[in-house]
Each structure stands twice: as structure tokens, then as C-alpha cells.
A and B are shown apart, each in its own frame.
Chain A
């Protein structure tokens, strides 16, 4: 557990320098195969030495000595912020994103930048201009995406915690495929300042770690209001440090329609088995909930993303940042741009975008109504296992289907986690847990209970 590692660093039995050197050695050894890290900070060891001095002086922050890897759509001053694209291949961050400033203030050490699907457009990790990311937990399979490098780096032991972003499932999907814990915070809880947007009405900066403790620790650092992001709100009432509080007496929602949406029924069965264990071994109530239109989340999400992405990428015209995006991007990015342009045309007003906004509203209302009856809703993260790397999938809708269970949480703006609960055919499978907006701390407590339950610690 990360808490034990922190204790060892604080007690001096392991120095920050030793830990960071260990990560760098692992990256040098394994990254050529896994390809989850695009850039390693050459000053990391020197930064670790400074942190060690702070630890000895008793002045170290919450993340002292921990190695952090960052998705390359989050700005880090002096680091390449490529978005996994040739378009921004040579772009160097000119400022620290709010989350990076907060991490540095707490003495977290930014080890480097991760690989990812180009401009966070993908669910597999195969869309990066710098090559696909291997899944360390299921060799030969995709790592998931779009935060492929962030999740794979944690799973491979290249860092303690990684940051990614989640707009439609981009942290929960790779967390599930790589067998680690991921959290999509409530929209508005973490500042997006410094995040290169995919869809600004849905984007969230999100942490991944091997355990719930690490995710909670990172949330404790990065959550909260920022004058740089008008959508953020204060988090004084959220206690991310108390994750052992349990969920006694809580109502757990299950949505029966999800079963029919699982293309691999073994995934649903695995989740159902954990849910039954929760019922048997924890003092919780299972409640069936109806969420109308949940089966239309993908059809709702993509038109919205196409439009917002088209709008957000107009700045990449090759004049100020990098190269012209239409000229140098990959197929999925171009598909979203051209689709967004098509939707944005005046003659289609009301036909696509307003229709999708209406559906978004309907799904949001349906989820809010479900939460009138329950405290949490549990479901799988993806409807199928990660496919094999290199498997030729020509229909984009087959890839979009990975997002079927993750996009509803983004459309509703609620918080959602992914906790590893099973292994099928050698592939980790995550359970997704949803909670109401700004109940992120409670969500992590529930995630911790599931983590302990699966490890038979309860």
C-alpha cells in the first residue's frame, strides 16, 4: 500500500532519491517495450535530493518523495506537452497547470510525461502518434485509453501516482484494463486550468494509483476552487483522508439493463459476484434502479464531443502552436474535427447538437432520480475485455462501444471510480462505482471497502 511507502520515506528508511532512481531504472529497462512514458525529467534526481533535505528538516509536503507521471495534455512548465500528437510534438509547456502547481507545493516529484491517445481521442491507447502502449497487466492487450500511458505507468511500477484526464471514461477504462484504481472526480472539483481540452463541458483531470489510498491522497492535494477555472468550487467539506469510514447501512444501486449491454457477459457476472458479496458481508442494501436512456449514452456523448473538440482545436492552425492539426493528426482526431464541423454548420442546427444536449439532459435527470433512492450505483467499467494489440478494428463505433458504461457519469457530471475486482482470460476487470456530485470522498470510502472486500481483508 502506498501509505506504507510514505511511512518508510518519512521515517528515512527509504530516501526520495533512492525511490526516484528506482523508477528511472525501471523506465529505462521496461519502457522500450511498454511505451507508456514519452519523456523523463532529467532533473528528477536533483529534485529528489531537495525533497530529502525537506524531509529531514520536517518541512516536507504530503507527496514528498513520491514519483508522479503526467498525461501530456496537462501543462508542465519546461516539459513537452505533446498530447500524444505530431501536431504538438515540439511544444514545451510554458506554465504549470493548477494541479501541477499543487503537486509541486506538496513536494511531489514530476518524473515525466506519459503516452496517450492523440488529443485524448480514443479508448484503446492505440491512437498515439508515438506508438501504442502495452498493457503491463495483460501483455499483448491494449492498455485502454485515452490515459493509456498514465495507467500503464502505474501498473508497470514506473511511478507512484499518475495524472490523466477523463472526458468519457479515459481514466476509468485504462484503470480497469490495467488492474489499478482510477477516479473521475465530480466536474468542477478539480481545476482544469492548464488542461488542453477535449470537451470543455465534460473534461476532468483525474488520478490513478495502485490503491484507493493513493487516489485519495492525490485528490486531497488537487481538489478545490481555483480562480483560473470558473467552474470549480471549494472542497472544504470533503475529507479525502478518511477512507476507512465504511459504507454501513448505505443503499447500493444496480441497474438491470446493464446486463443486456455487456457484450462479454462474464464481466457482468464478475461484478454481480462482488455485489452479492457486498450484500452478504457488508451491512448494505441492494436496490434496483431504472436509468432511462442509459443505453443512448454513447450516441449522446459523441456528437457533443465532436462539436466541442472541433471548437477547441481551432487554435491548432499551425500559427501559434505546433503544426496544422488537420494536416498532421491521425484518423480519429480528424474524424472528430470533420464530424464536429459538420454538426456545427447552421443547416444542421437542432438536428444533431441540440438533440444530443436534450439527451444529455434526460440522462442527467435519470441518474439524479436514481440517486434519490441510492447512495451509490455499481456497474462494470467496460462491456468487453481489452482487445489484442494490433487487432484490426476498422469501424470506429466498435471502439466507441468501450465507452458505453463510462460516458453516463460524464454526461451527468457526477463522480465515478474504477476498482479492480476480477481477472478474466488474464485481463483485469474493474468495477465502476458512481456517487452523487461532490460526494467524491464518500465514493472513495466505498471504493476502499470494495478494495478490501476483494482482497478478503474484511
Chain B
């Protein structure tokens, strides 16, 4: 017989509160960037290398700072 959902939720809340309190003492050298620190790419690889050039290459041609409509290109 499963405990009630309310009871299980209270248990879960108690656990995560207790665990969070324990983690308050943790300090890391650098401020965390949660989006990148787990990357499996090799440290030497620069994922943004060439990205700017690639974006500019694909960007529509401009005239006086305004994008030009491409005709018959597509």
C-alpha cells in the first residue's frame, strides 16, 4: 500500500531542504556556468571558432547597413 501523495511530497521536501542546507558550505574556485561545465568536448576544442565568420558569410548582403533582398537566389 503506497503512502499518500501528500505524505510522499512532504518527505521529498524534507529531504531536499536538508540536502540543500548541507550544500550551503560548498565553494568553487570560479562562478559556475551550468550550461557549459558539463560539456564532453575536449578542453582544447573551441566550439565558437569560425562561428562569427560562418554567420557573417551566411548573413544577407547589406547596403548602407540595411539587409538587401536576395533575388532569384533561392
Q: How many angstroms from the CA of A20 to the CA of B2 in the assembled complex?
A: 39
Given known A-B contacts A306-B16, A339-B15, A356-B23, A361 and B8 have beta carbons under 8 A apart? no
Query: Is B5 a contact of A303 with CB atoms below 8 Å?
Result: no
Query: Is B32 a contact of A358 with CB atoms below 8 Å?
Result: yes
Query: Is A361 a contact of B16 with CB atoms below 8 Å?
Result: no
Interface size on A, residues (CB 8 A): 38
Query: Is A299 a contact of B23 with CB atoms below 8 Å?
Result: yes
Q: How many angstroms from the CA of A447 to the CA of B19 in the assembled complex?
A: 33
Q: How many angstroms from the CA of A216 to the CA of B30 in the assembled complex?
A: 38
Additional A-B contacts beyond A306-B12, A335-B15 (8; CB < 8 A): A298-B19, A306-B16, A339-B13, A352-B20, A356-B20, A359-B23, A362-B26, A365-B28
The listed residue (B5, B8, B9, B34) touching A357 by CB distance below 8 A is B34
Query: Is B8 a contact of A338 with CB atoms below 8 Å?
Result: yes
Q: What 1/0 mask marks residues of chain B from 11 to 50 whose CB sits below 8 Å from any chain A CB?
A: 1110110111011101111001010011010000000000
Given known A-B contacts A335-B12, A396-B11, A303 and B40 have beta carbons under 8 A apart? no
20 pairs from A and B in contact (CB 8 Å cutoff): A296-B22, A296-B23, A302-B15, A303-B20, A331-B2, A331-B3, A338-B5, A338-B12, A343-B16, A352-B16, A355-B20, A356-B20, A357-B32, A358-B32, A361-B37, A365-B28, A396-B11, A397-B18, A413-B38, A413-B40
The listed residue (B13, B29, B32) touching A342 by CB distance below 8 A is B13
The listed residue (B8, B20, B27, B40) touching A331 by CB distance below 8 A is B8
Give chain A nearest CB distance to B3 CB in angstroms. 6
Query: Is A355 a contact of B23 with CB atoms below 8 Å?
Result: yes
The listed residue (B3, B18, B40) touching A187 by CB distance below 8 A is B40
Query: Is A330 a contact of B2 with CB atoms below 8 Å?
Result: yes
Residues on A with C-beta less than 8 A from B29 are 365
Q: How many angstroms from the CA of A335 to the CA of B8 in the assembled complex?
A: 6
Give chain B nearest CB distance to A397 CB in angstroms. 6
> Is A169 at the interface (CB under 8 A from chain B)?
no
Query: Is B40 a contact of A233 with CB atoms below 8 Å?
Result: yes
Residues on B with C-beta less than 8 A from A352 are 16, 19-20
Q: How many angstroms from the CA of A343 to the CA of B8 in the assembled complex?
A: 15
Tell me the B residues contacting A by CB distance below 8 Å: 2-3, 5, 8-9, 11-13, 15-16, 18-20, 22-24, 26-29, 32, 34, 37-38, 40
Q: How many angstroms from the CA of A420 to the CA of B38 in the assembled complex?
A: 32
Q: How many angstroms from the CA of A210 to the CA of B27 in the assembled complex?
A: 41
Residues on A with C-beta less than 8 A from B12 are 306, 335-336, 338-339, 342
> Is A130 at the interface (CB under 8 A from chain B)?
no
> Is A125 at the interface (CB under 8 A from chain B)?
no
The listed residue (B8, B16, B26, B28) touching A303 by CB distance below 8 A is B16
Give chain B nearest CB distance to A57 CB in angstroms. 40
> Is A382 at the interface (CB under 8 A from chain B)?
no
Residues on A with C-beta less than 8 A from B23 are 296, 299-300, 355-356, 358-359
> Is A91 at the interface (CB under 8 A from chain B)?
no
> Is A105 at the interface (CB under 8 A from chain B)?
no
The listed residue (B9, B27, B28) touching A338 by CB distance below 8 A is B9
Give chain A nearest CB distance to B38 CB in angstroms. 6
Q: What 1/0 mask marks residues of chain A from 352 to 387 whose CB sits below 8 Å from any chain B CB?
A: 101111110110110000000000000000000000
Q: How many angstroms from the CA of A201 to the CA of B38 in the assembled complex?
A: 8
Of chain A, the residue at the smallest CB distance from B41 is A233
The 10 closest A-B pairs by CB, nearest first: A339-B12, A299-B19, A338-B9, A299-B22, A359-B26, A362-B28, A188-B40, A359-B23, A357-B34, A335-B12
Of chain B, the residue at the smallest CB distance from A298 is B19
> Is A334 at the interface (CB under 8 A from chain B)?
yes
Residues on B with C-beta less than 8 A from A298 are 19
Query: Is B11 a contact of A335 with CB atoms below 8 Å?
Result: yes
Residues on A with C-beta less than 8 A from B24 are 355
Residues on A with C-beta less than 8 A from B37 are 357, 361, 364
